[in-house]
Structure 1
Amino acid sequence: MLSVADLRKSYGDVVALDGVDLDVPAGTLVAVLGPSGCGKTTLLRSVAGFEHVHGGSIAVNGRRVAGAGLHVPPHRRRVAVVPQEGALFPHLSVAANVGFGLDRTARRSGRIDEVLELVGLPGYGDRMPHQLSGGQQQRVAVARALAPRPPLVLLDEPFSALDAGLRGDVRRDVRQALHADGATALLVTHDQGEALSMADQVAVMNAGRIIQYGPPAAVYREPANQWVAGFVGEAVLLPATVDDAGAATALGRIALRGPAREGLHIVLLRPEQLRISANGGGVAATVVRHDFHGHDALVQLQLSDGTRVTARVLDTTPAVTTGDEVTVTVRGPAHTFPA
């Protein structure tokens, strides 16, 4: 549904897009994940038609909309954009906002009620935007984008202004609405949890390039390099010597997720793979920091050789405090990078 090939865009001497390639299959939700300044918003604006590109091409639903000597204006691309804060028309009702892009026949067809049902707001058509919560306004913005059945929906960090407690519910409802309507969507975000929980595929972007593209589980468990490993979640990176029996590390011998050449490597573990115990087998460690997050805690540990690692423990784990002596074991295999 969306095909981006060797896309390039600069602002003076600043390169925003440096040969971006991206294919979004029809009916899927793809998240572009990256830090501030990586080029993800420029990519979205280029696809929408708000930016003229300097090289490469963009095709939507098989039709080229940008390329050498070509720039189809935004209103002719049939691409819907959901901005960060909804941007509803304050003087129009919810139904009028949703039906703004529909012709008279489509407004009478029941499509407005249909998309409001999809986003979890049945019966809200007569309300005004100021009568809605932030999360409800964002759902209306998604309904407005879906109403004309565009070939592509672009979501520009649409949940960033919502409270943390509300964000998860709105994400789930929006994802469900997009899939129920068969929509194709591109989500731009800097929130790793948002990308991993919502998207069918994740494109990790940095310095104007897409570094890795694949299913969320693969990006998390088998990152393309150490930078991706550290950006997509907490990472425990350890020097290791690999042989036929696995990897020898400061945490003992660890099984590997896939084959690796013998020699020096860096192994990746996620904090939830580290288990700590007050008494039991494993590598001796000292608790040097304990960060409580409610549903879990991150515990930083120092091993006897001075190596520091981080474990994620659930609140059901016996409480540990700074200075406690514990033992650490590893659950599951590790991913490797050449040293």
Structure 2
Amino acid sequence: MLRVDIRKALPQFTLNVAFEAANEILVLFGPSGAGKSLTLGCIAGLVRPDAGLIQLDEQVFFRGPKHFVPPHRRGIGVVFQGYALFPHMTVAQNVAYGLRYTPRPAASVEEILHRMRLENLAHRYPHQLSGGQQQRVALGRALILRPRLLLLDEPFAALDRGVREHLQADIAALQREWGLTVLYITHNLEDAFALGDRLAVLQAGRLRQIGPIGEVFHRPASRSVAEITGVKNIWEGEVVESSVAGLRLRWGEHTIELPPANCVAGQRVIFYIRPEDVKIVRPGKPLTEVIRRNQVRGRVHRIADRGIAISMTVLCPGAPEPVHLRFPPRSYEDMGLHVGQEVTLSLLRDAIVLIPGEGEEATRRGR
């Protein structure tokens, strides 16, 4: 069990985070400058906190100003984006490097080379390797200590998609087999979902929300968490009707239906719908009950092909803000979507979510 409760004052902000992790992959997620790498640096012993506690199982790494275990005595595996391989050493020598500093039982070089699929590259030097191969060497060097804790600071950011997915699968398999606790920094939600068990969202040195990754993604605890996790359609509305059947909100000149919630008529609320849950109504096609609700018309303002998805912005008369959509490239291929085209959208009722704790602020702004 890793226990972290630390504070570190910087000119830009004060890091103040507390969390626990055990036998899982915990993703530290947030914008640049949120404190993710600083948190990992404190755990690794590269940065000394001002106060607090860092403890792994029964071993205390840091407790206040008088107790600080240096990095090489923590038995932690650390992998950075930049690989940090020794250019004058072979693959095998780089992997074996950590063994000279630890008395703890460790894996053999041969075992790690096999697990990282590096056997045939053992005698090559870093400059003779691809980016993915270099990252495997860096991982192997961290894993040869058989660490109880593995820290990954955006290790896959510079790798292409296929290589990244293979490495993620390797880490997930090792985590399950060895019972590792892994802290993984990424700014990529797709990577977070691919590898993480839980998600910790940081902003300005504070832990804004932590929980199972699907729960944090689909039920953000605040507007800031929603924005950090990629929500674009965050809107304000006024409750027109509240019943056991659901809510009806006034959003600009439109009325939107939502699932039931503890609200009263006249209350202003903040709500969101993810771009993936806004659908385009196909002209002339039979409508299901789900699509028939919450329809708004508008004109396509912008289309961007992101490769794995299409992002689109629609301006709707009577709507206070633009509506953002995201969908697979082939979803509406037959419609020939283009800028300036008129479309009808459906905001899926059950995908619209109220942001808890934000209603009072919305009410104050609405007065």
In the superposition, the TM-score normalised over structure 2's length comes to: 0.83
Determine which of 186, 191, 199 is the counterpart of 1:189: 186
Cα drift, residue 278 of structure 1: 4.3
Cα drift, residue 65 of structure 1: 1.1
Q: Residues 326 and 283 (structure 1 numbering): CA distance in 2 closer, same or farther, change over 3 Å? A: same
- 1:6-25 matches, cutoff 5 A: 7-11=6-10, 13-17=11-15, 19-25=16-22
1:246 partnered with 2:243: no
Determine which of 345, 349, 357 is the counterpart of 1:328: 345
Q: 3-state SS of the aligned residue for 1:100?
A: helix
1:63 partnered with 2:59: yes
Q: What is aligned with 2:301?
A: 288
Deviations 1:21-52 (A, max 9, x none): 01111x21111111121111111111111112
Determine which of 275, 285, 305 is the counterpart of 2:318: 305
Q: Residues 218 and 74 (structure 1 numbering): CA distance in 2 closer, same or farther, change over 3 Å? A: same
Structure having the higher helix fraction is 2
Q: Which amino acid aligns with 1:248?
A: L
Q: 3-state SS of the aligned residue for 2:86?
A: coil
Cα drift, residue 241 of structure 1: 3.5
In the superposition, the TM-score normalised over structure 1's length comes to: 0.89
Determine which of 98, 102, 124 is the counterpart of 2:99: 102
Q: Distance in 1 between matches of 2:80 and 2:9?
A: 23
Kept in 1, the 8 Å contact 2:247–2:258? The answer is: yes
Cα drift, residue 122 of structure 1: 4.4
Q: Residues 290 and 109 (structure 1 numbering): CA distance in 2 closer, same or farther, change over 3 Å? A: closer
Q: What is aligned with 2:365?
A: none
- 1:192-203 matches, cutoff 5 A: 192-203=189-200
Q: Which amino acid aligns with 1:314?
A: P
Unaligned regions of 5+ residues in structure 2, if any? Answer: 285-291, 363-367
Q: What is aligned with 1:232?
A: 229
Cα drift, residue 249 of structure 1: 4.9
Kept in 2, the 8 Å contact 1:118–1:180? The answer is: no
Q: What is aligned with 1:172?
A: 169
Cα drift, residue 291 of structure 1: 1.0
Q: Distance in 2 between matches of 1:260 and 1:86?
A: 51
Q: Distance in 1 between matches of 2:107 and 2:7?
A: 42
Q: Residues 116 and 180 (structure 1 numbering): CA distance in 2 closer, same or farther, change over 3 Å? A: farther
Equivalenced residues, count:
334
1:2 partnered with 2:5: no
Cα drift, residue 135 of structure 1: 0.9
Q: Residues 109 and 53 (structure 1 numbering): CA distance in 2 closer, same or farther, change over 3 Å? A: closer
Kept in 1, the 8 Å contact 2:77–2:150? The answer is: yes
Kept in 1, the 8 Å contact 2:107–2:146? The answer is: no
Unaligned regions of 5+ residues in structure 1, if any? Answer: none
Deviations 1:232-279 (A, max 9, x none): 1233112234412224254653333x7332332111111010001342
Cα drift, residue 181 of structure 1: 3.2
Determine which of 140, 143, 148 is the counterpart of 1:146: 143
1:217 partnered with 2:202: no
- 1:126-165 matches, cutoff 5 A: 126-163=123-160
Q: 3-state SS of the aligned residue for 2:207?
A: strand
1:255 partnered with 2:258: yes
Deviations 1:292-327 (A, max 9, x none): 112221110111204311011221113311111111
Q: Distance in 2 between matches of 1:95 and 1:216?
A: 36
Determine which of 50, 72, 77 is the counterpart of 1:75: 72
Q: What is aligned with 1:277?
A: 281
Deviations 1:102-131 (A, max 9, x none): 369x9x997323333333434432332222
Kept in 1, the 8 Å contact 2:99–2:106? The answer is: no
Q: Distance in 1 between matches of 2:88 and 2:173?
A: 29
Q: Which amino acid aligns with 1:253?
A: I
Q: Which amino acid aligns with 1:80?
A: G
Deviates more, 1:302-311 or 1:277-286: 277-286
Q: Distance in 1 between matches of 2:345 and 2:327?
A: 12
1:33 partnered with 2:46: no
Q: Distance in 1 between matches of 2:323 and 2:87?
A: 51
Cα drift, residue 137 of structure 1: 0.7
Deviates more, 1:125-134 or 1:151-160: 125-134
Q: Distance in 2 between matches of 1:218 and 1:326?
A: 32
